[in-house]
Amino acid sequence: MKLPVNFQDDRKIRAAFSWLTRIGAGPAFGSRPIGWYQNHQVAAIEILEKSGAEEVKLDKGVIKGRVGKHWIDLGSPSELYRLADKAARR
């Protein structure tokens, strides 16, 4: 997924939300109240954007971010889920 996500482009938002759900860092659509679902997904995206990565991918169970020419470990999907959940509840 390319970062930052353009929140003005519905296709980009849907793709980002789908990616987060697919890797286990976000809830499935319809599994939670819509406001909480959206807050959680946006919080997860903001956490990834704050990492400074230009692009993120899942590699062998680890979220990796591309910073310049290098891929760095950003953590697991479950860690991102927990951080986004905490941020969404504020």
Return mean pLDDT, the chain: 94
Phi and psi torsions of 47, nearest 5°:
-60, -45
Q: How many domains does the chain have?
A: 1
Domain membership flag for residue 25: yes
Whether pLDDT at 89 is above 90: no
- What's this model's pTM, rounded to 2 decimal places? 0.92
For residue 72, tell me if it sits in a domain.
no
Distance of CA 23 to CAs 8, 68, 69, 90, Å? 23, 23, 23, 24
Q: Does some domain include residue 43? A: yes
Give a yes or no: residue 73 inside a domain.
no
Confidence of residue 30 (pLDDT cuts 50, 70, 90): confident
- Which residues form the domain of 35? 10-52+78-88
CA separation for the pair 78, 86 (Å, rounded): 12
